[in-house]
Structure 1
Amino acid sequence: MVAPKRRSISLPIILSSVAVALTITLLLVWILVIARNMELLQATFVGNLSLLVGGIVSFVAIITVLVMFTVFLVREISEVRRQTSFIDSVTHELKTPLASLKLAAETLARPELAPDRREQLRVMMLQDVSRLVSLVDGILDASRLVVGHEAGELGEVVIADLIEQVASEVVGRHHIDRDAVVLALDDSLVLFIDTTALRTIVSNLVDNAIKYSDGTPQIRVEAKRSEDGRHVEINVSDRGIGIAKGDLKRIFQRFYRVPEEAVRSRHGTGLGLFVVAALVKWLGGKIEAISAGSGEGTTIRVLLPDRSTSS
């Protein structure tokens, strides 16, 4: 199958740059012509000055429009690329569990199948269904966040208890040792917050840390009061593949996945961190990614306002 041709971003940039350069050249030539003939037109100096100013303003407006058009076009092409990548990722994510479910269903139809084998297949099918539900939920969450997040259940949340629950769930989903996730939690931290949103944030961050770890995951989740005393700080750190400096902010964009083989070889849709960042922002907090580079691990830091400390 022939891969579809990707639209080049460089072409609109080059064309717009040439147009801007030609416009500036025409502007300079025009100013020079008027300046050289100004002595011959001293009687109408005011009129020529007004004409010169008007021309300059017009050319600036044209250049501004060209630059804005270029920026818009580049953004649109980049968005289309991200959406195409997202569709490819979702297709891949769907094919694997669906193929597994089909095979399991066909195997269950065999009358001679042993009871213990049937139980194994049943558990495997439940895991595949859970994976599909998680994928669909992630897409729906992202869609709702683009339109506008609706308030969920608000209540007092003991941060340490929530993180412990979420960590156990994610570890079980990945079938790894519970000791792979080390918790350093302040038991006194309590927030009045959207419980579902906070659970989604922590779950996605721990899931990502495990997913992008090499070998046996070594994850550390820390929750403490921030240095300014007005926020709760949650740090999720791993010793995985790391993130290049130029991608530290871009990873929170919708559909964005770092264009490296270490990332492409792992399941993902480019929505997890977008959902996290959108929820953190909606809760009035801040989020940042910290990494020394490829192979150096990553820390995602979340700051959530503790309004109980406000005066």
Structure 2
Amino acid sequence: MNEGGREAGHKRVLGLRWRLGLSYLLVIWVILAVLVVFMSRFLETSIIGARRASLYAQAHLIASAIRARGGPFEARLVAIGGMPLNARVMVLDGYGRVLDDSASDPDMVLRKLEFQEVGAALSGREGSNTYYLPDGSFVMYVAVPADWDGNGGAVFIAQDLKDIVIQYQNVMRMVASGGIIASMVALVFAWYLSRTISEPISDLSRAARMMASGRLDSRVSPKGPLETRELGASFNYMATEIEKTVEGQEQFLMAAAHELRAPLASMRALVESMQICPPEAEELSELINDVLREILDLQGISESILSLLRTRSGGAVSDEEMIDPAEIIGEVIRSRVLGGVKQNLKVILQGSRQDKGIVEPRPMAAVDSSNQATVVHEREGQQQHLSGAKVQMDPLLFRLIVANLFDNAVKFTPPGGTVVVSMDFPENGDEMVLKVSDTGPGIPPEHLDRIFDRFYRIDPARQKSTGGAGLGLAIVKEACEKSGGMIEVETRPGGGTIFTVRWRNKRPGDL
């Protein structure tokens, strides 16, 4: 990985860590702010409320003590004693004028107090409130009514709430300290948590870049929390599927080349036969038509294989149309016979027609006489009449299935053996059945599970004698899956092999 990519990865990791840390800090300080508001309300309703009730009680006691001693003109606050701490007490007449002051300030004598608490007390009600004075002190004013010999009056107390302020400040310091400690813990936790998240993400990023550069075997070790482990497992699954897809595409290209050899071989056989034995004038037109047909088949197969390749990658869907399966079978077999097969090989074409075989007999004058292959057209019993029968199917897929099954049968059938190709529409089932059998050596049971694998060969040593790259049956299996068919194999060592392909819901219809 280059330095630019590594630096970008570090930036992403740091960004995630800081974002998590700031998020935790935000949550913590929002909680602290709510806690401060709650504590302020608690202080106001609880501590300050308790102080207010205490000052009310003390003011009433002072008023009672003054009345017991003969009134404000006889009893002095200094003599009474028991004044509240950090407080100033004043005795007022019915007009709110100061009669006595615990601070003994001569300037306050007969001075009228205009506080709203005093007005409430002179009206016969208790009054209190808290204030912040210009010097920064926090005080509470309390006034209670006191009737001096029917002339009215009040007791006023002003107390500095410094002790409550100090208590509140101590609590706030504790809250702030707790917030700082919580913030540090949150940052450490966020750093650790972001690391558990960012490291798996960084591993995924590196693995993705390696895959982009062609290292399709790149994988990650799922780690971290459950989500990142699931993400890592999903990435590995995706990478495995991508690797399989790419390998499948490469193998399919080889399979395509394998399939294109047949028409090329047919054209070569035609041209060589013309070189060996120049055709008569009346035969020339048919030979030219045969070559043209093979060229068109080659072109069609090439274009269809490209479409099928796009279908495998999800870029397109296979094109179905009404086809005559009997006609395609005949074209495939004839193309293979023209291309050359083993000597003394008997090819039997069976169908459920009542009047003729699957393929119309065609002149074999263009076939090299050295092929010595005999094609026999047979009829079967009283099953459904197939003349002109057509079904909805992708012609390329059907051609691939027939061609590769036939090639496989011919490949493993010894000279003098027999290959049988049959197709039925059973009356009791809504299906179409294709069978290709041979009289070859059969397939050992231990190989049955792998015969449809790409490039798998039962006996690699026989590759030169039989030819092929081990792709034929793999093509058949894939084409069956794409066309909705199911393939079965029956074999007996030394007794040949039968491949059966069944397509459900394929009933013949006439165009």
| Alpha-carbon distance in 1 for matches of 2:341, 2:427 | 36
SS of aligned partner of 1:252: coil
Residue 297 of structure 1: aligned partner: 496
Residue 412 of structure 2: aligned partner: 212
Query: What amino acid does structure 2 have at the position aligned with 1:305?
Result: R
Question: Where do residues 116-127 of structure 1 align in structure 2 (5 Å cutoff)?
Answer: 116=275
The structure with the largest alpha-carbon Rg is 2
Structure 1 residues 291 and 262: CA distance shift in structure 2, 3 A: farther
Match of 2:331 among 145, 154, 165: 165
Q: Deviations over 1:15-64 (max 9, x none)?
A: xxxxxxxxxxxxxxxxxxxxxxxxxxxxxxxxxxxxxxxxxxxxxxx9xx
Query: What amino acid does structure 2 have at the position aligned with 1:193?
Result: Q
Shift of 1:306: 3.4
Residue 154 of structure 1: aligned partner: 321
Residue 482 of structure 2: aligned partner: 282
1:258 aligns with 2:457: yes
Give unmatched runs, 5+ long, in structure 2: 1-228, 269-273, 280-286, 354-384
Query: What amino acid does structure 1 have at the position aligned with 2:477?
Result: A
Structure 1 residues 140 and 119: CA distance shift in structure 2, 3 A: farther
Shift of 1:191: 4.1
Is this contact kept in 2: 1:286–1:302, CA < 8 A? yes
Shift of 1:228: 4.7
| Alpha-carbon distance in 2 for matches of 1:117, 1:162 | 30
Query: What amino acid does structure 1 have at the position aligned with 2:484?
Result: G
Shift of 1:194: 2.5
| Alpha-carbon distance in 2 for matches of 1:182, 1:238 | 10
| Alpha-carbon distance in 2 for matches of 1:164, 1:275 | 20
1:273 aligns with 2:473: yes
SS of aligned partner of 2:404: helix
Shift of 1:142: 7.3
Structure 1 residues 215 and 284: CA distance shift in structure 2, 3 A: same
Greater helix share, structure number: 1
Structure 1 residues 308 and 153: CA distance shift in structure 2, 3 A: closer
Q: CA RMSD in A?
A: 5.2
> Could you state the TM-score of these two structures normalised by the residue count of structure 1?
0.52
Structure 1 residues 194 and 139: CA distance shift in structure 2, 3 A: closer
Is this contact kept in 2: 1:236–1:299, CA < 8 A? yes
Structure 1 residues 176 and 273: CA distance shift in structure 2, 3 A: same
Is this contact kept in 1: 2:438–2:497, CA < 8 A? yes
Is this contact kept in 2: 1:257–1:263, CA < 8 A? no
Residue 185 of structure 1: aligned partner: 351
Structure 1 residues 178 and 282: CA distance shift in structure 2, 3 A: farther
Question: Where do residues 233-248 of structure 1 align in structure 2 (5 Å cutoff)?
Answer: 233-248=433-448
| Alpha-carbon distance in 1 for matches of 2:413, 2:426 | 27
Is this contact kept in 1: 2:344–2:416, CA < 8 A? no
Shift of 1:119: 7.1
Structure 1 residues 175 and 259: CA distance shift in structure 2, 3 A: closer
Shift of 1:286: 0.4
Shift of 1:237: 0.2
Residue-pair matches, total = 229
Query: What amino acid does structure 1 have at the position aligned with 2:489?
Result: A
Query: What amino acid does structure 2 have at the position aligned with 1:252?
Result: F
Residue 449 of structure 2: aligned partner: 249
Report % sequence identity: 25
> Could you state the TM-score of these two structures normalised by the residue count of structure 2?
0.34
